[in-house]
């Protein structure tokens, strides 16, 4: 115990507080355009199936009637042998002429028989009077009456025949109209500007009524049914108040109501091709598995909007992204989605210390979040992982210019 008597006590050194290095960004306030995205396959707005309406042999085809060829409206595409239909038409025309002749002859015969009936009636009356005074026999009277009855029967038969002729004429006229349609249907023309697909005929091939010969896809307008998550559609309607769209606006009118401006995108390696589109409608049902609804957008004249090397023709079967851009929402607070932890964010205050704030979220969009309240523009937001995060701890903020630019770019403010 005497050995330590001459030694000094150790100097007590107070531990200095060490600042944690964190990456930060300045919270921006921007005019933000909400976007809902979905994916779908390009398809023609109209699809025409060329179906044979008559039976026969294909005797002529357009030289460009091949899959993938584009043919303009009104172009003759193919012909079926019309000989049998021309013959049927000629026969019906002859039958119609025969009806006219028969009607004329029957009218003439009826006039003659009516005159005979008149004369037979007079003769029967004369003989009847003579029989009453006994100057003629009863057999002569009977014969005269039989002659009158025969004439009356002939008149009745001719009148019946004449009455049936208009009906027979209508039947033949109907057959004649059908024969004319059949003859017309031996030649098929393109009903609109189309692209040939699924060709299933060749020259000299025999086709039957109802057989599908090929398909024609409209090239004047293309449509995409993009499957869009219901959750991403709701933020397109923020700022519209409590008055919802009326029944008429639930179709194409909803684009005007929500100020929708659809854009079609397609990745081409390192480049992205874009087309401004038109919102058409939503589909009639929601997919119960994915909770998505089909948003139908359209593009007019897709083959006329080609930019060689940058934007290809929007063709059937292409898988594309559809962006439904809504009305711009002014002065919105946006932050990276990853900066939110359990509904809270980390802020660096003026004394370089950590402040944990609870925020009210408006909605998420991709990798960013739109904030309703809880933080203000200009505050320093911690964007790096801080574990453990103890409120009041000393921080050494380092501005992350890359993260800030990425946020502004995602928000459409750069």
Indicate which CATH number applies to the domain containing 312: 2.40.30.170
Co-location of 226 and 279 in the same domain: yes
Average pLDDT of every residue of the chain? 87
| Closest listed residue to residue 315, CA positions, set 47, 44, 40 | 44
pTM for the model: 0.73
Listed residues 279, 309, 325: the one ending a domain: 325
**Beta bridge mates, 216:** 48, 196
In a domain, 242, yes or no: yes
Co-location of 130 and 163 in the same domain: yes
In a domain, 211, yes or no: yes
In a domain, 238, yes or no: yes
Q: To which H or E segment does residue 118 belong?
A: helix 83-133
- How much is the pLDDT for 289? 87
In a domain, 399, yes or no: yes
- How much is the pLDDT for 103? 87
Cis peptide before 342 (omega within 30 of 0): no
Instruction: Give the tens place of pLDDT for each residue, 12-24.
Output: 555 668 889 999 9
Co-location of 339 and 405 in the same domain: yes
Domain with residue 390: its CATH number is 2.40.420.20
| Closest listed residue to residue 368, CA positions, set 408, 331, 400, 330 | 408
Co-location of 76 and 190 in the same domain: yes
Which residues does 268 contact at the CB level (< 8 Å), separation at least 6?
Answer: 310, 312
How many domains are there within the chain? 4
Report d(CA 257, CA 267) in Å as an integer: 30
Which residues does 291 contact at the CB level (< 8 Å), separation at least 6?
Answer: 229, 230, 231
**Arithmetic mean of pLDDT, 343-359:** 93
Which residues does 271 contact at the CB level (< 8 Å), separation at least 6?
Answer: 310
Domain with residue 195: its CATH number is 2.40.50.100
Report d(CA 326, CA 258) in Å as an integer: 6
Listed residues 194, 218, 242: the one ending a domain: 218
In a domain, 4, yes or no: no
In a domain, 370, yes or no: yes
User: What one-character-per-residue DSSP string does 276-291 give?
Assistant: E-EEEEEEEEEETTTT
Tell me how far CA of residue 133 lies from CA of 22, 125, 223, in angstroms.
147, 13, 101
Co-location of 211 and 358 in the same domain: no
Listed residues 196, 218, 240: the one ending a domain: 218
Co-location of 107 and 152 in the same domain: yes
Instruction: Give the tens place of pLDDT for each residue, 199-225.
Output: 999 999 999 999 999 999 999 999 999
Co-location of 66 and 199 in the same domain: yes
Sort strands 395-399 and 20-26 into parallel, antiparallel or unpaired: parallel
Co-location of 140 and 274 in the same domain: no
Does residue 162 sit in helix, strand or coil?
helix
Tell me how far CA of residue 84 lies from CA of 87, 94, 183, 186, in angstroms.
5, 15, 9, 11
| Closest listed residue to residue 35, CA positions, set 311, 234, 332 | 234
Report d(CA 365, CA 309) in Å as an integer: 32
**Arithmetic mean of pLDDT, 302-322:** 90
| 272 and 265 Cβ atoms separated by less than 8 Å | yes
Co-location of 26 and 56 in the same domain: no
Domain with residue 120: its CATH number is 1.10.287
Instruction: Give the tens place of pLDDT for each residue, 73-89.
Output: 999 999 999 999 999 99
- How much is the pLDDT for 239? 65
Encoding tokens for residue 283?
């589909």
Co-location of 180 and 299 in the same domain: no
In a domain, 63, yes or no: yes
Co-location of 117 and 209 in the same domain: no
- How much is the pLDDT for 2? 43
Co-location of 310 and 381 in the same domain: no
Domain that residue 264 falls in: 35-44+221-325
Residue whose token pair is 């085809």 = 61
In a domain, 128, yes or no: yes
- How much is the pLDDT for 286? 87
Choice between 285 and 248, residue whose per-residue pLDDT is larger: 285
Encoding tokens for residue 11?
């100097």
């Amino acid at each position: 115990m005497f050995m330590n008597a001459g030694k000094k006590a150790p100097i007590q050194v107070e531990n200095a507080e060490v600042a944690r290095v964190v990456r930060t960004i300045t919270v921006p306030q921007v005019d933000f355009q909400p976007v809902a995205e979905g994916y779908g396959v390009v398809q023609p707005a109209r699809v025409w199936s060329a179906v044979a309406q008559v039976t026969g042999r294909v005797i002529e085809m357009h030289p460009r009637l091949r899959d993938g060829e584009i043919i303009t409206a009104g172009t003759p595409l193919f012909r079926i042998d019309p000989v049998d239909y021309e013959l049927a038409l000629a026969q019906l025309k002859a039958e119609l002429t025969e009806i006219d002749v028969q009607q004329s002859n029957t009218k003439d015969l009826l006039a003659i028989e009516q005159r005979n009936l008149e004369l037979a009636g007079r003769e029967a009356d004369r003989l009847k009077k003579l029989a009453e005074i006994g100057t003629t026999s009863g057999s002569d009277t009977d014969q005269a009456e039989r002659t009158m009855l025969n004439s009356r029967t002939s008149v009745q038969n001719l009148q019946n025949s004449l009455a049936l002729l208009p009906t027979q004429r209508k039947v033949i006229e109907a057959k004649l109209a059908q024969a004319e349609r059949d003859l017309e249907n031996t030649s098929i023309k393109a009903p609109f500007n189309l692209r040939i697909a699924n060709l299933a005929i060749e020259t000299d091939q025999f086709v039957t009524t109802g057989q599908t010969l090929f398909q024609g896809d409209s090239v004047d307008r293309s449509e995409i049914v993009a499957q869009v998550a219901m959750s991403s559609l709701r933020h397109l309607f923020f700022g519209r108040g409590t008055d919802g769209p009326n029944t008429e606006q639930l179709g194409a009118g909803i684009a005007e109501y929500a100020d929708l401006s659809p854009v079609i995108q397609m990745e081409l390696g390192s480049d992205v091709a874009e087309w401004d589109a038109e919102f058409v409608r939503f589909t009639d049902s929601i997919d119960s598995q994915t909770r998505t609804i089909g948003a139908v957008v359209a593009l007019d004249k897709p083959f006329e909007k080609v930019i060689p090397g940058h934007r290809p023709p929007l063709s059937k079967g292409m898988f594309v992204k559809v962006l439904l851009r809504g009305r711009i929402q002014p002065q919105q607070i946006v932050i990276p989605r990853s900066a939110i932890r359990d509904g809270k964010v980390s802020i660096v205050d003026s004394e370089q210390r950590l402040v944990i704030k609870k925020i009210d979220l408006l909605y998420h969009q991709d990798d960013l979040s739109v904030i309703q309240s809880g933080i203000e523009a200009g505050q320093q937001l911690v964007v790096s992982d801080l574990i453990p995060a103890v409120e009041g701890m000393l921080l050494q903020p380092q501005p992350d210019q890359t993260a800030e630019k990425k946020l502004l770019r995602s928000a459409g403010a750069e």
